[in-house]
Structure 1
Amino acid sequence: MKQPEHVMHDFSYGAVEDASGLPARVAIFADNGPARAQIEEDLSGAGFRTVDGGAISNLLDGPITLMGDVVMVDCPLVDAGALAALARLDMRVARAGAKLIVITAIDALDAVFGSLDQSDPQILVQPTRGERIVAVGRVLADIGNSRVREMTEEDRLSLLHLSRQVEAIASKLEGLTGSSGGAASPQSALRAHAEKGQSTAGAVAPSQTPSLSNSPRAAMPDPRLVRGMIAARQARSKFFEAELFADPAWDMLLDLTAAKAERQQVSVTSLCIAAEVPATTALRWIKQLVDTGVFLRVADPSDRRRAFIALSEQSSDAMARYFAEVEMPLLQQAA
């Protein structure tokens, strides 16, 4: 299908290279043909070489040949076949040292997250067209860093140029398209999930927890106290813009602390809800905190396709000690 000419003329950029100077190539898989074509057009316009991988079922039938440094899968809906394809791709991408980007919807997030445990993927929840381009730029920067043992000053400047170029293209695309097709935003979808009565759990920030191995362990706080603190924080948005107080790391830590005291498991979706930021942003926080050992990814023993997020022992102890220090002043204020 012929694309509008203004789209073709607005993006006349040269081929993008990763930080090691190799041509950037992205393989795209999606069951929705028009969606796959739009992703290919946007990435090609941004200077990336693309390969049309076809439907997601192609990942399951026969051998997988990774056709690029990056594999992008658009998977807003999942069934058993799609999850099997993602799990197989996850294993192959991890073995090949490539990068995986999976686009999904909030309703499918837990299933998608649970099926991807080897390749360290980027998961985007209902992203805009610009956010897709930025995601590819980010993973290409990671690939370049892993390939170049010692980056020269020229390498660093090339990487900076790549990052700026990709973000400029994404911004320009967002200016042309406005909101993405009138679809509900990830944040509104999260709110809809919360209104259905799903439990919420907190997001995380990439900070280091101090070592407490030589100190006696403190008891977890009363979960009612923690939930009260969360409610008080959320009430601020009734009177001020919520962005003024965005602190996903602390909000997730609070919610995971309450959940641990309540002996409740926390899904990645409910953790994103508690973060009170767009789901894709919350997922980046979660990934960083899992990588640094603040959070743990815990497999569901009854269903290997599911995974939960929990506090590490060190983080649990740190939160217990924090509340032991502040609990008395909080109780005095409430009295």
Structure 2
Amino acid sequence: MQADFLYEAAQDAAGCQLGVTVLADRAHVRGELRDDAEAAGFRILHSCSVEEYARGAISALGDLVLVDCADDTAEALALLARLDMRAGKAGAQLVVSTTMGTLDSVFGCFSFSAPQILVDPSRAERVIAIGRVLAHIPNLRLRELGEEDRLMLLRLTEQVGRMAERLEKLPSGQRAGGGAFRFESPATAWRGEGEDYLTQRRDNMRARLPDAAVIRGMIRHRQARARFFDADLFADPAWDILLDLSAARAEGRRVCVTSLCIAAGVPGTTALRWITQMVEAGLLIRVADPDDRRRAYIALADKTADAMARYFTEVLAGEPAKAGF
């Protein structure tokens, strides 16, 4: 069933209808993307497979690029990297859907355009992504919504509101610029294999991350609740992400985005949005692989690692058995 946005034609400030490029190897997905984009008011500029577009002459991307990339072939990844650079320079918005199996490769292709990356998305999730693009376009007029649309928008607004409230309660970091997908080199506080992260407390006492086994024990305690209660009751992806990265830092181990999405305990697309929000908030950083620039890892920012080290020092002092509850 085709999505019904009920929008007027999407137009720029000059009144010209906005254009979209649709790239998908899977024909049925390409058809859905094309139909949904047209329903949203976009004019289709290109609609073909990723391979066909890569072989063709360079042409205008339009204002929105919808990409479905289920295979991490060298040709597909090279095209994604080109699209990232071109979209970043031209200001086009990217929505990229992929699978959990190819997420690491696809994620590593983007450093300039801050795309929306969807993991094994449903059609509804792709429609919401297009809607997020529309929300940043001026001069749009929304016709009367049906009751089902009103309820969907209400639920979405409430979900985003809860996300923002949770992030505001976390230790704030200073954003150094470069957007959600900026690259950074490993920080000076990063230690080699088997070494702990150390930080100097204000009282001149040294706080450190505990042994990784302690943190992993806390993670197991959190996960055990799902055996007795509905896991949605305790969903807290931000905290699960911080715990997993803390354990990895104590182990001197790098964490890929796929592993972190799994650790978050929520659907892949939801986890990736949390990771993006936390990078934007300065809580996490994206670290380039020095041996392969096409790969990237996620790590705690130094201030976040400092806060986690002090947190563990406090909660484990005298009551280690209660940690994690």
For the criterion TM > 0.5, the same-fold answer is yes
Q: Is the 8 A contact 2:241 2:260 kept in 1?
A: yes
Q: Is the 8 A contact 1:295 1:310 kept in 2?
A: yes
Offset at residue 123 of structure 1 (A): 0.4
- Is 1:306 equivalent to 2:295 in the alignment? yes
Shift of the 85–64 alpha-carbon distance from structure 1 to 2, 3 Å rule, reads: same
Give the whole-Å Cα distance in 1 for the aligned partners of 2:16 and 2:264: 37
Answer 1 or 2: which has greater helix percent.
1
Offset at residue 73 of structure 1 (A): 0.5
Task: Extract structure 1 runs of 4+ deviating beyond 4 A.
Answer: 18-22, 161-165, 169-172, 210-214
**Out of 167, 185, 205, which is 1:206 matched to?**
167
Give the whole-Å Cα distance in 2 for the aligned partners of 1:220 and 1:14: 51
Give the whole-Å Cα distance in 2 for the aligned partners of 1:333 and 1:324: 13
Shift of the 273–34 alpha-carbon distance from structure 1 to 2, 3 Å rule, reads: same
Aligned ranges 1:266-285 → 2 under 5 Å: 266-285=255-274
Offset at residue 42 of structure 1 (A): 2.8
Shift of the 163–130 alpha-carbon distance from structure 1 to 2, 3 Å rule, reads: farther
**Out of 73, 78, 86, which is 2:72 matched to?**
78
Give the whole-Å Cα distance in 1 for the aligned partners of 2:216 and 2:111: 31
Q: What secondary structure, in the 3-state scheme, does the structure 2 residue paired with 1:29 have?
A: strand
Q: Is the 8 A contact 1:138 1:163 kept in 2?
A: no
**Out of 203, 209, 221, which is 1:232 matched to?**
221
Shift of the 169–136 alpha-carbon distance from structure 1 to 2, 3 Å rule, reads: farther
Q: What is the aligned length?
A: 281
**Out of 2, 6, 14, which is 1:13 matched to?**
6
TM-score if structure 1 supplies the norm length? 0.75
Shift of the 34–261 alpha-carbon distance from structure 1 to 2, 3 Å rule, reads: same
Task: Give the alignment's Cα RMSD to 1 decimal.
Answer: 3.0
Structure 1 residues 158-204: Cα deviation after superposition (integer angstroms, max 9, x where no partner): 58x48978x929969xxxxxxxxxxxxxxxxxxxxxxxxxxxxxxxx
- Is 1:99 equivalent to 2:88 in the alignment? no
Unpaired segments of 5 or more residues in structure 1? 1-6, 145-154, 173-204
Q: Is the 8 A contact 1:15 1:48 kept in 2?
A: no
Give the whole-Å Cα distance in 2 for the aligned partners of 1:306 and 1:170: 40
Unpaired segments of 5 or more residues in structure 2? 154-165, 174-198
Shift of the 231–330 alpha-carbon distance from structure 1 to 2, 3 Å rule, reads: farther
Shift of the 327–85 alpha-carbon distance from structure 1 to 2, 3 Å rule, reads: same
- Specify the alignment match of 2:35 in structure 1: 41
The percentage of aligned residue pairs carrying the same residue is 47
Q: Is the 8 A contact 2:103 2:258 kept in 1?
A: yes
